[in-house]
Amino acid sequence: MSILRISGGHKLNGIIEIGGSKNAATPLIALSLLTRSTCIIRNVPRITDVERMLELLESLGSKIRWLNEHTLEINPKSVTLARLNDPSTRKLIKSMRSSVLVVGPLLARFGSVSIPEPGGCIIGKRPLDTHFAALKSLGAVVERTGDGYTVTAQRLKGATIILPEFSVTATENCLMAASRASGVTTIQIAAMEPHVQQVTHSLEQMGAGVRWSGAHSLVIKGVKRLGGFDATVVPDAIEAFTIVVAAVLTNGNVRIRPFPWGTYDIVLEKLTEIGIVWKRDGLDLHIIPPHQLTAFRLLTLPYPGFPTDLQSPFGLLATQCQGTSLIHDPLYEGRMGYMAELVKMGANAVQCDPHRVLVTGPTPLVGTEIRSLDLRAGATLLVAGLLARGQTFIHDAHIIDRGYEHIDERLNQLGARIERNED
């Protein structure tokens, strides 16, 4: 357990390097389970969720080696299911939501997999129904077993799958399972986030036939055997835009590199609408101190819409905008919890229902003791502490480490004053 003590009121200035995307790294690590060949993954963030995912693979028999600070070599040749039900392995699965990504590849490789209910951030109900409906379409049988599930399939066979929602992890699980199914699989209402596209590119490199047949529709031609892959994790757009908000709110002058240009243009449009001045300089995004921020309306949507993971940083941004902003996040009913923490700091916010909040600004924020409720909320509250007058203490700050590599140290290099203490 960690506590972050933040002394607010200091401008951020300088250059910050953006790490690899958590949401891209974890499915690529799981993807290695489909093959017996060595896989290389570059630009891997050194974050808690990645470390736990690697521990999970090691418990299954994968050989893991760091070639340098951010490059992984995974040899999955000796993977078995022998330790899947060990208490230590089950504890790892329960500790992170991304562990659900091992279901598709292990089912495809071994014909059976048993896991407990995966854990992760408490941001609302996230049932696995979409995952299991897709796998059942491929011929799998799913049974509830105590605190988890057993999924079996003597033979996976291609099918037309219509996902009931734009689920990123269900799309990835389905992709991985279908890559070794016999015949052709079509996935409709498929998520198409950049990290999903990275999985499709890597599957092609491994030897599967994968193509997009229009927006949100994937066609996969399965093969009996897949080779290895060599992939570079895309820059983390969520981290990049969180730093943008931090630079804006501290009236800073910051260059963010390498910025993931061409992925979330809708967020750049929202920045411009709010009055934030940004410039493109090669691979960098340059944030220039703004004069005034204007209230806005925000609706989170599946990609290429506004991402739910950026709803909370923009909720914080709304506290400093002139007028009343409406933020609507229809996906998770627990995602607005951070607003109660911001209200403790002085924010003027009214939560209309679990999915909508009205924020009126600008209002000064004052440091106090708050708690990191989930990964994205924690990063948002960290930025709030940079803006607030006085000192802010964030409890359960270890949650932030799940997705942001040494974020306190990197912000300190820009001029922030953050101290970490173990609870």
Give me the active site residues, please: 121
| Location of structure tokens 């995912």 | 53
* Burial (Cβ within 10 Å: 0-12, 13-18, ≥19) of residue 73: middle
Sign of CA pseudo-dihedral 375, 380, 381, 383:
positive
Cα–Cα distance, 293 to 199 (Å, whole number): 38
Q: Which of 231, 232, 278, 240 is nearest to 258 (CA)?
A: 240
> Where are the extended beta strands (E) located within 69-202?
71-75, 112-116, 141-145, 148-152, 160-162, 184-188
CA 107 to CA 181: how far, in whole Å?
10
Contact 335, 124 (CB under 8 A): yes
Angle, vertex CA 264, rays to CA 259 and CA 268, nearest 5 = 80
Task: Answer for the pair 171, 104: CB distance below 8 angstroms, yes or no.
Answer: no
Q: At what angle do helices 22-31 and 168-178 cross, to 10 degrees?
A: 20
- Do residues 298 and 245 touch, judged by C-beta distance below 8 A? no
Distance CA 279, CA 300 (A): 24
CB contact set of 137 (below 8 Å; sequence gap of 6+): 159, 160, 161
Q: Are 103 and 131 in contact (CB under 8 A)?
A: yes
Q: Is 121 helix (H, G, I), strand (E, B) or coil?
A: coil
One-letter amino acid for residue 80 of the chain: T
Which run of H or E residues covers position 48?
helix 48-60
Q: Say if CB 358 and CB 316 are below 8 A apart.
A: no
Take residue 13 and report the two structure tokens written for it. 């200035």
**CA distances (Å), origin 220, targets 152, 166, 202, 262, 281:** 21, 18, 13, 25, 38
Distance from C-alpha of 199 to C-alpha of 191, rounded to nearest angstrom:
12
The rounded distance, in Å, linking the Cα atoms of 329 and 251 is 27
